[in-house]
C-alpha cells in the first residue's frame, strides 16, 4: 500500500502546509509516501519532500498546470491514484486543495473529509477527527469509501525531518482540452514579505493601537519575528489597515504556531479566526479583556510600553 500526497508551492518552494501533509501521511504508517507536484518547479526543491517522509515525488512538468486550474488538477490526481494503486490521498487544506479534492472525490467515488486535525483511528474502521463550527468543536467521521481523501488543517501535526531525499520521477497523465475549459485571466496575490494565510507567526493589532500611525511598532515586531501582520475587523472597517489583514470569522482564518494580539479585546468573531493557533499571546491594558481567557500567555500593560521592549528583547536575543 502507499499514500499519495498532493503538494503545492509558493515563490519557488514547497509550502510548509504541504510539508506538514507529507509528515502526516508518513505518520499514518500505511506504506510508502509518494508526493505529486503539478507544474514547473526545480527538482532540487522537490527532492526536499524526502526530508519529511516521502520516498518519491511524481512531477507533472507541464507549464499549463502552473496556474492551478482545478479541473486539470483533479484529472491528474485521479489518474495518479489509479496508476499508483494508492488508496489514500492527503493534501493540505487550502483555497486550491479543497475544491481539487472535492472533484477528485467525485471522479473516484472516494470518501472526502476536510479540516482534519489528527491522525486517523484505524483500530475499528477508518475514523478521522475534523474541526467544525470555525474551530469551536470537533467531529469524528467514519470514512467507508475504498479511496479516502484527507485535507489536513495547517499545524495539525508537527513537521518531522528524516534527513532523506526523495527520488523525482516524471509523471505524464492524459489531459484533454476539456480539462482546460476554464481560462484564468488574472490572479491577484496578497502583497507583503510574509503572507497572512501561510504565516507561522502573526502579529495583530486592534483599536487599542489608537490609530494607523502607530502600526510601525507592530510591523517592527513582526519584522524581528519574521511574522505577518493582521488586525481586528473594526480596524479594517475604519480604514486603519487593509481588509486583507482582517483576521476573524468573516476575514482570514489563521492557524499559526504563534499568534500575538495587541490591543484586541477578543470578541467571539475574532477568536473564531485564531483559535487554531498553537500559542496565543495577548497584550492588553484591560485585565478584564475577554481575550485573556483564550490566551496561553497574557501581558497586562500598555502596548506602547510593552511592544517596544518586547521587540528590543527579541533583537538582543538574536
3-class state of residue 83 by DSSP: helix
Banded pLDDT at 92 (limits 50, 70, 90):
very high
Q: Which of 150, 148, 146, 147 is nearest to 131 (CA)?
A: 150
Cβ neighbourhood burial of 189 (10 Å; 0-12, 13-18, 19+):
exposed
CATH superfamily, domain 2-180, is HUPs (3.40.50.620)
Contacts with 227 (C-beta within 8 Å, 6 or more apart), sequence order? 194, 199, 200, 201, 202, 203, 221, 258, 260
The residues facing 14 across adjacent strands are 9
Is the pTM value of this prediction over 0.85? no
User: pLDDT value at position 310?
Assistant: 96
269: annotated binding-site residue? yes
Banded pLDDT at 137 (limits 50, 70, 90):
confident
284: annotated binding-site residue? yes
Q: Which of 142, 82, 152 is nearest to 117 (CA)?
A: 152
Residue percentage of the chain with pLDDT more than 90 = 78
280: annotated binding-site residue? no
268: annotated binding-site residue? yes
Q: Give the pLDDT mean for 30-35.
A: 94
Give the span between the Cα atoms of 38 and 224, in whole angstroms.
Answer: 34
User: Do 196-317 and 2-180 fall under one CATH topology?
Assistant: yes
Percentages helix, strand, coil for the chain (3-state, rounded to 5) are: 35, 25, 40
Joined together, the cell numbers standing for residue 254 give: 489563521
Give the span between the Cα atoms of 35 and 28, in whole angstroms.
Answer: 15
Instruction: Encode pLDDT of 154-199 as tens digits.
Output: 888 888 888 888 999 999 999 988 888 887 777 766 555 677 877 8
265: annotated binding-site residue? yes
* 136 pLDDT more than 80: no
* 102 pLDDT more than 90: yes
Q: Where are the domains of the chain?
A: 2-180, 196-317
Residue percentage of the chain with pLDDT more than 70 = 97
Q: What is the CA radius of gyration of the chain?
A: 21
CATH superfamily, domain 196-317, is TPP-binding domain (3.40.50.1220)
Q: Which of 32, 30, 27, 52 is nearest to 7 (CA)?
A: 52
3-class state of residue 300 by DSSP: strand
174: annotated binding-site residue? no
User: pLDDT value at position 193?
Assistant: 61
Instruction: Encode pLDDT of 235-277 as tens digits.
Output: 999 999 999 999 998 898 898 999 999 999 999 999 989 988 9
Give the span between the Cα atoms of 287 and 299, in whole angstroms.
Answer: 9
Joined together, the cell numbers standing for residue 315 give: 533583537
264: annotated binding-site residue? yes
Amino acid at each position: 500500500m502507499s499514500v499519495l500526497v498532493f503538494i503545492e508551492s509558493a515563490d519557488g518552494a514547497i509550502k510548509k502546509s504541504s510539508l506538514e501533509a507529507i509528515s502526516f501521511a508518513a505518520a499514518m504508517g500505511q506504506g510508502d509516501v509518494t508526493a505529486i507536484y503539478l507544474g514547473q518547479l526545480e527538482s532540487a526543491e522537490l527532492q526536499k519532500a524526502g526530508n519529511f517522509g516521502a520516498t518519491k515525488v511524481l512531477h507533472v512538468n507541464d507549464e499549463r498546470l502552473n496556474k492551478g486550474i482545478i479541473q486539470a488538477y483533479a484529472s491528474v490526481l485521479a489518474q495518479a491514484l489509479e496508476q499508483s494503486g494508492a488508496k489514500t490521498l492527503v493534501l493540505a487544506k487550502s483555497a486550491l486543495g479543497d475544491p481539487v479534492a472535492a472533484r477528485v472525490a467525485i471522479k473516484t467515488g472516494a470518501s472526502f473529509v476536510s479540516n482534519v486535525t489528527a491522525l486517523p483511528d484505524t483500530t475499528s474502521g477508518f475514523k478521522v477527527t475534523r474541526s467544525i463550527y470555525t474551530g469551536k468543536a470537533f467531529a469524528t467521521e467514519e470514512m467507508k469509501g475504498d479511496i479516502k481523501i484527507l485535507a489536513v488543517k495547517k499545524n495539525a501535526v508537527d513537521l518531522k525531518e528524516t534527513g532523506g531525499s526523495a527520488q523525482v520521477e516524471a509523471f505524464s497523465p492524459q489531459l484533454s482540452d476539456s480539462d482546460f475549459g476554464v481560462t484564468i485571466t488574472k490572479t491577484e496575490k496578497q502583497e507583503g514579505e510574509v503572507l497572512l494565510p501561510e504565516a507561522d507567526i502573526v502579529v495583530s493589532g486592534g483599536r487599542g493601537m489608537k490609530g494607523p500611525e502607530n502600526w510601525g511598532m507592530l510591523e517592527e515586531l513582526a519584522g524581528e519575528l519574521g511574522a505577518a501582520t493582521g488586525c481586528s475587523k473594526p480596524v479594517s472597517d475604519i480604514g486603519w489597515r487593509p481588509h486583507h489583514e482582517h483576521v476573524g470569522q468573516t476575514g482570514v482564518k489563521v492557524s499559526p504556531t504563534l499568534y500575538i494580539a495587541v490591543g484586541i479585546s477578543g470578541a467571539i468573531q475574532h477568536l473564531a479566526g485564531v483559535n487554531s493557533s498553537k500559542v496565543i499571546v495577548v497584550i492588553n491594558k484591560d485585565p478584564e479583556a475577554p481575550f485573556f481567557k483564550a490566551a496561553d500567555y497574557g501581558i497586562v500593560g500598555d502596548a506602547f510600553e510593552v511592544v517596544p521592549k518586547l521587540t528590543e528583547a527579541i533583537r538582543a536575543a538574536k
